[in-house]
Every structure is written in C-alpha cells, then in structure tokens.
Amino acid sequence: MNVMRSLFLKIFLWFWATDVLIAITAALIIGLSIQNQPEIVGSRWRQTTGDALALYADSAAEVYERSGKAGLTDFINRLERTSRVHASLRDEQGNYIAGQNHAQTSDVIALAQKSDQPEFRVQETTAVGAKEVQAASGHKYIFVAEMPRRAPPPIIPFPRGLFGWERWIVSIVISGLICYGLTRYLTRPIMRLREAARRISSGDLSTRLEPRLARRHDEFGELVRDFNTMADRIESLVAAQRQLLSDISHELRSPLARMNLALELARQRSTPESTGVLDRMEREAERLNDLIGNLLTIARLDSKTPVPEATVVDLSELVHEVAADAQFEARSRNCDVKVVASDPCSVSGNADLLHSAVENVVRNAVRYTNDGTAVEIRLTCPNGSGNGSGRRAVISVRDHGPGVPESELLNVFRPFYRVEAARERKSGTVGGVGLGLAITKRALDLYDGSVVARNAPGGGLQVEITLPVVSAPVPAHV
C-alpha cells in the first residue's frame, strides 16, 4: 500500500497541520497585540486623562468665578491631596492666576489655545496637560496640570521569548503526539477490519473482530458488528457446502462399487458383441471414480483435517516420474512431454500430495496443447543444488495451446471452474470438471507453496509452482 495514500497518514497530517496553523495564527495575533500595546495604551490613556482634565478645568473655572482666588486655591490643594495632580489656572492670555506655577508649559498652553481638546506633553514619569475652557460669564481660562505617569501593565501577559525556537519545537511535538493518538483512535477499527478481511480472503473463515470493538456505540461499532455477522454467515455457508460435497462423494462410492461389481458379472456372461459397450461403461465408471476421489481430496484439504506427515521430497525425481506417467497420455494425443531443465533440490511435504499437485498441472497441459507440440517442464532451484532458508524451487509447465483469457487467469484454480469453450474447441479436447488445478493450489497452500498461471509469449499457458527449499525433514502440517 502506498504510504502517501494511507487514510491514517492523511488524517494525521490534516489534524497536525490544522493544529500547527492555529498555534501560529494565535501566536501572531498575540505578538501583534503586544507590539501594538504602547499605541493602544497611549490612546486609551490620552482619552481617559483628557476627560478628567476637562472636568477639572470646568470645575476650576466655575470655582474661581464663584469663590474667587481663595476658593480656587482651596480647590487646587484638595485636587493635589486626593489625586496627586499639581494644577494651576491661567487667564485667556496665559497669565498665572492661582495654583502651582509650572515652568516650561508655554508650548502646551499655546497648543491648548488653538484646540478644543486637551493637549499633553508626555515625559517618562509625568505628563503636563492643558485645556482651555469657557466659563458661564463668557471668560476663557486655561487649566494646566502636571500628573504622574506610570508604565501600564501589559494587556496580555505573556512569557518572554515568544518566538523562541525551543518553545516552537516543544509545541509542535506535543501537538503531533496528540494528533497521532487521536488519529490512531479513529483509524484503528479500519486497520483491524482490513486485516480481518485479508485473513478471510486467504481462507481463515474463523476470523472475527474483537468484542471490545463491537461494543463501541458509534458507526465503527456498527460496522464491526455487521462484519462479524457477515463472517458468521460466510463460514456457515462454506462449511455446509464442504460438508455436502463430502457427504455426496462418500454416498456415491457405494453405488459405484455395486456398478463395478455388476460390470464384472456382466463380463462373465457377455458375448463378443457386448464387449465394446461394457468397455465404455467401465471407462465411464473409472472417470466417475476419479471424480469422486478428487471431490474427497478437495473436501479433505478444505476441512483442515490432519494431512499425512511431511518428509523431504526429491523434487527432481518427482518431476521426472510425473513426466514419464504423462507421456503415455501424450502419445495418444500425438504430443510429447519433455523435462527441459531439472536442478536437483528437495522440498518438504507429503510425496503423494505434491505428486498429485504437479501431475494435475502437467495433465492439464497435455489436454490442451496442440497436436505435434510438446509440454515443457522446467525445474529450477537457486544456486544449483545447495539448500538454504528463504530459497524457493520453481516448476514451470508450459503448453502450446490456445491459452486462457487474461480476465480468467485467477479463476482457473477455483473448484469446478472451467474456461470458456473456445480453449477446448481449439485444442480439440473435452476438458475435465475443473478440480485438478484446485487440488494443486490447496495442496501447495499446505506447504507454504504457491501457483500462478500466465499466458506464455508466442501462445500457450504457463503455470509456475513454487515451493520453499529445505535441507532437513520438518514436522507435518495439521
């Protein structure tokens, strides 16, 4: 599976990218806020202090016109005691009336005379402000005040070194771990489902997903429960089919045996004219007996019953024996069977089952190869005759017949599956019932072998059998 197409990786990367993007955006917003904090605080300070300065100016002008200089002085003293504001009042021309006579305020006073808003000269620890007001009498006054100015606390406290690489790395790693855990939680049922589906497709029909996954109260839980129900149904149907196949095969043996006995009795009383008919009946009975034998073999291999003990089998000798036996059938069809290569090597398995597996492939090739051609058998073993772990012997059987459509190459190893009649018409033969290659595949599966079919260049079908090479006997499969 392509890693970049993995659902787990896609979900993980999307979660992680979203998490990192949110973190970066939040950091930038906070950073910009901190950078703009002096301007924001300064604007708010000017607005708040300006409103207070305007209120003090209106009150000072009103007190002066109502209570004179003595009342104004008392007002300014109270303002200094309560708010730590050192103030003075001047007339419209800027002449001092009462209060603290501030030095170097002419610039602020000049600005206030030209503006309706309070004007400030801000220093590091103090600020001097001036505001021109008009009293009820119509006279204008200028209120000047010196106020303490403290550095305001930050609006959003944040640790120093906001953009340090260490903090970024730690944040990204932590977010990655959180996203990994969430992604694994979401995709684990899918991975388990895929693994279970593969095991069922490989023949393990007893595979089920864990009960803890089935107890989930979400869509994954429903999917797991439906999958287990489907697996139960498939297993029961296949088991019933295998049992029916086995039972029918066993039941057919009894009438077949009685028919063979009847044939023998009929031969004892037959006339020369009936000999041909009896011979035909005997051949059909033999074909029926072979069919029943193959059915029983399929049923036994599918039922997981213990198979005969595995021993070390000389594969080269087995191939030559199969070729010699198939040669008799090939001569009757005006074709030949040749072993074009045979490397000495040994494999582990039951000799009879492996002989049947190879023989079924060769006999199938003999059945479909064209007249006057040869079925070619090639046995190759890596590194000559040496044995070693991980090496596999390959038996290649090639005929020169019509081949098989590409869409049906995977189906030729299914029981009772037969290729379309075109292959039989071209070969001029009547095929079997589709059990030989199925037996081959099941026998090879018992010993970690495999079989594949492909159309050979130049025409014909090529079937390759692979088996692991061994150097010593191994325990039998059960």
What does the longest C-alpha to C-alpha distance in the chain come to?
162
Q: What are phi and psi of 217, to 5 degrees?
A: -105, 45
Whether the CB-CB separation of 411 and 390 falls below 8 Å is answered with: no
CA distance 390 to 299: 31
CA distance 386 to 190: 44
CA distance 153 to 443: 83
Identify the H or E element spanning 379. Answer: strand 374-380
Let me know if 355 is a catalytic residue.
Answer: no
Contacts 24+ apart (CB under 8 A), 19-25: 19/175, 19/178, 19/179, 20/172, 20/175, 23/171, 23/172, 23/175
Which of 86, 217, 250, 355 is catalytic? The answer is 250
Whether the CB-CB separation of 231 and 207 falls below 8 Å is answered with: yes
Q: How would you classify the pairing of strands 461-468 and 346-349?
A: unpaired
Residues in Cβ contact with 94 at an 8 Å cutoff, skipping those fewer than 6 apart? 106, 109, 113, 142
Sign of CA dihedral 449, 450, 451, 456: negative
Residues in Cβ contact with 215 at an 8 Å cutoff, skipping those fewer than 6 apart? 221
Residues in Cβ contact with 373 at an 8 Å cutoff, skipping those fewer than 6 apart? 335, 336, 399, 400
Q: What amino acid positions are annotated as catalytic residues?
A: 250
